[in-house]
Structure 1
Amino acid sequence: MDGAAAAAAAALELREAHRLAGHADRVWALAWNPAPGAGPVLASCGGDKTVRIWKRAPDGAWHCSDVLEDTHNRTVRSCAWSPDGRLLATASFDATTAVWEYNGGDFECVATLEGHENEVKSVSWSPSGSLLATCSRDKMAWIWEVQPGNEYECVSVLQGHTQDVKMVQWHPLLDILVSVSYDNTIRVWADDGDDEWHCVQTLTEANNCGHSSTVWAVSFNHKGDRMVTCSDDRTLKIWDTSADLSQPKTGEGHESWRHLSTLTGYHDRTIFSAHWSSEDIIASGAGDDAICLFAEEKSSMVEGPSYKLILKKEKAHDMDINCVRWCPQDPRLLASASDDGTVKLWELRGSVLD
């Protein structure tokens, strides 16, 4: 690294801007409301069986505006806003998924989805908002179709994983679903055009340079041509697809994900979360209490795309970091959630190196 590059790297800072306290147990997951609205709105959920809604006041201070409780009777493990920001889905260890609607200044639980045999680990909305995916320790992912009148119909039960499914995530542009599991694999699911959902690709250590241990999370870049996964093997893996994303929104032609890069040696313990910002910065949070930021290395000296560490924040929390999420309205604002019961908001300052 030359002198100018070193100076620029030193100027990059992840500064703690706010600490949001209120949960009485570990905080498992976070979700930013994607609607432009009046300002950023963050949902957090955790082991205290509640969901908290955080909003930024005109003076810049953050406060908890709503506490969603008395619906789930066990840990709330995951939360996700619909694309229009009108609905919030919450997944719980009580084997149910709840759907909340913001009406007249209050959140109302308008649907409870049942069917999984045990803990629901993750929930995700499709980009159109017409489908909802859930996954569970029962090794299955379910796809629900949104019906009129706040009704939800299960249209497919996806079987293929041999262990606990940790997370489901829809592609940002297409009705393509990715699931990751305790069985160390990543599965890509697509509709064949006749409302039949199939696994169109399985990424494994053996045939695709995949992970060697539990895969905890997956995130797409904003263009949808790359995704990042993170694992108990303490690596992040970048995947790339050459698929033509302008084609119709079906699984055809979109299953060819290939391994692009492995980021290793940056975390000392399990990496529980990874998230890709609209500015193409990947954040990761892990059991070593650290947050790492990565960006693509734009160097003609390197053959093909590669990624480099641009910042590591040691001891970002006092305990395991379970989730990191970039804010869609402010791409330099990062939220993190931890076993220490807090949510932190971080401001990324300085220029990211080219």
Structure 2
Amino acid sequence: MVLKELQSLTGHTGRVWNCSWNPKGSLLATSGEDTHIRLWGKEGDQWVTKTILSEGHTRTVRNVAWSACGNYIAAASFDGTVSIWDRKNGQFECNATLEGHENEVKAAAWAKSGNFLATCSRDKSVWVWDVDQDEDEYMCASVLQAHTQDVKRVKWHPLEDTLASCSYDNRLKLFKEDDDDWVCVSTLSSHDSSVWSFAFNNDGSRIASCSEDETIKIWQEFKPGNEQGIKTPGKDSAWKCVCTLSGYFSRPIYDIDWCAQSGFIVAAGGDNSIQVFKESDTSQDINAPEFEKVLTQSEAHSEDVNCVSWNPTERGLLASCSDDGDVKLWTLTDC
């Protein structure tokens, strides 16, 4: 198995923090220190800049997220705001700016249903916004103060309106709506240091998380009445750390993504490498699954790798971005 570099995309100045594919896999959004969002599309055999969204923010754009319909982008910025872009008129335009966080906004994420947007911040909070896309209205539904430190990422369950977050407090948390309020239903504790990122598998029954502690952890959901006899808190699921991958990275692991098509997990971080893992063919026990590394791309970038993202439709196509200012496209062969 080989990870082959297809193209290096240049254009950003300064570090590039985030890369995110639209749902069709036809556009890649990137953002970084230069305050710009670049949208890349394919022309012939090459990926080129299609659009530069440059007027939404005054500081670093830390994260960009696509809505499930592909017509909206939310951008989280160190200027403390989240910009909302839509292309109702054919081109992406900023139609709303969400304010309320008291410090740098680190990430945003749309629920697959389209009904909610989540944001998180250095101010230790997670906000859930009610979305009315017809009226371009975004109302704060809840401010969640469950974490005790900087919240790094928020992501939604792939099939339902369950929200997850991770933080400098070494924990992941899951939230659900309960009687018009949002409540924490699970706290996932096993990492020894900051949890930088995480990813759900294709059906949301597992989470892979990565940390400053240089480990990857696999979490398994156990629903009420599960065959394994794992106790659950009432009507909500229990989550259990069932596997820890350690010794593969020599620096903190900054990002992780779980491919819905192939089941491969990709992770990257401060040692400049990109590494790919998969569940072993011999893995059978849901309580103790076995995962193995299938490849290491050493010096994938010349500095920290901040984000890795599998294309949602083209099997094996991967995007990465780095402090070195480059965005790279890769293809994983024999996957």
Q: Which TM-score bucket, shorter chain as reference? A: over 0.9
Q: What is the RMSD computed on CA atoms of the aligned residues?
A: 1.5
Q: Cα gap change, 1:300/1:309 in structure 2, threshold over 3 Å: closer, same or farther? A: closer
1:252-303: per-residue Cα shift (whole Å, max 9, x none)?
7443111110010111001000000021000001100000000000216888
The within-5 A match list for 1:197-346 is 197-204=182-189, 210-243=190-223, 253-278=235-260, 279-299=262-282, 304-346=288-330
> Once the two structures are aligned, what percentage of the paired residues are identical?
47
Per-residue deviation at 1:243? 2.4
Q: Cα gap change, 1:307/1:253 in structure 2, threshold over 3 Å: closer, same or farther? A: farther
Q: Cα gap change, 1:25/1:214 in structure 2, threshold over 3 Å: closer, same or farther? A: same
Alignment-derived partner of residue 15 in structure 1: 4
Per-residue deviation at 1:30? 1.1
Alignment-derived partner of residue 140 in structure 1: 125
Q: How many residues align?
A: 324
Q: Cα gap change, 1:27/1:82 in structure 2, threshold over 3 Å: closer, same or farther? A: same
Alignment-derived partner of residue 7 in structure 1: none
Gapped regions of structure 2 (runs ≥ 5): 225-232
Per-residue deviation at 1:127? 1.2
Q: Cα gap change, 1:308/1:155 in structure 2, threshold over 3 Å: closer, same or farther? A: same
Tell me whether 252-261 or 107-116 shows the greater mean CA deviation: 252-261
Alignment-derived partner of residue 131 in structure 1: 116
* TM-score normalised to structure 1 length: 0.89
Per-residue deviation at 1:164? 0.4
Residue type at the aligned position of 2:210: C
Alignment-derived partner of residue 138 in structure 2: 152
Per-residue deviation at 1:70? 1.8
Q: Is the 8 A contact 2:283 2:289 kept in 1?
A: no
Q: Is the 8 A contact 1:188 1:255 kept in 2?
A: no
Q: Is the 8 A contact 2:86 2:93 kept in 1?
A: yes
Alignment-derived partner of residue 93 in structure 1: 78
Per-residue deviation at 1:202? 1.0
Per-residue deviation at 1:312? 0.5
Gapped regions of structure 1 (runs ≥ 5): 1-11, 205-209, 245-250
Per-residue deviation at 1:71? 1.6
3-state SS of 1:289 partner:
coil
Rounded to whole Å, the distance in 1 between the matches of 2:306 and 2:324 is 10
Residue type at the aligned position of 1:286: G
Rounded to whole Å, the distance in 2 between the matches of 1:124 and 1:70 is 21
Rounded to whole Å, the distance in 1 between the matches of 2:220 and 2:276 is 19
* TM-score normalised to structure 2 length: 0.94
The within-5 A match list for 1:77-92 is 77-92=62-77
